[in-house]
Amino acid sequence: MTSPMKKLSLAVLVVDDDEASLRALGGIVRAMGTRLTTAATLAEARACIAASLPDVLLADLHMPDGDGAELLGEVRGSGCEVIFVTGHADERGAENALRSGARAYLTKPVDVERLWAILEEIEERRAPA
């Protein structure tokens, strides 16, 4: 990973049921300087969102307790940006996620440079003019 010039000040919630993926994504996002929260289930994610709405939700689509896309509907209109991550990529799924309002659709293993660019763009749009 290229070292970013500046740290990001975003609050990011990473949701993934695979412990190794959760640790890896969490480590990548934490290294970018974000305020990181993690959840291994949709239920945990909902509790985290209720406690403190993140700036960015980075969620796996396929979870044992439901579809990660459910979270998109729950945060729609709140200002929280949603990025889906999946190990089961398909074009139709990507198109549906983006049409539904997701900011991005990434496949595992995550392209760290692309994730950095997306998060940096989100932060820049949130910055006061």
pLDDT per residue as tens digits for the range 43-85: 999 999 999 999 999 999 889 998 888 999 999 999 999 999 9
97-129: pLDDT as tens digits: 888 899 999 998 999 999 999 999 999 998 776
Confidence band, pLDDT 50/70/90 cuts, at residue 5: low
Residue 6 lies in a domain: no
Amino acid at 40: A
Does the pLDDT of residue 4 top 70, yes or no? no
Check: CB of residue 39 under 8 Å from CB of residue 14. yes
Q: How many structural domains comprise the chain? A: 1
In 81-127, DSSP assigns E strands to 81-86, 104-107
The residue count for the chain = 129
What CATH number corresponds to the domain at position 120?
Answer: 3.40.50.2300
d(CA 100, CA 94) in angstroms, rounded, equals: 10
29 in Cβ contact with 12 (< 8 Å): yes
Residues 6+ apart with CB under 8 A from 121: none
Strands 62-63 and 66-67, bridge-based pairing: antiparallel
Q: Could you tell me if residue 4 is inside a domain?
A: no
Confidence of residue 1 (pLDDT cuts 50, 70, 90): very low
Domain assignment present for residue 66? The answer is yes
3 falls within a domain: no
Question: What domain range includes position 19?
Answer: 11-126
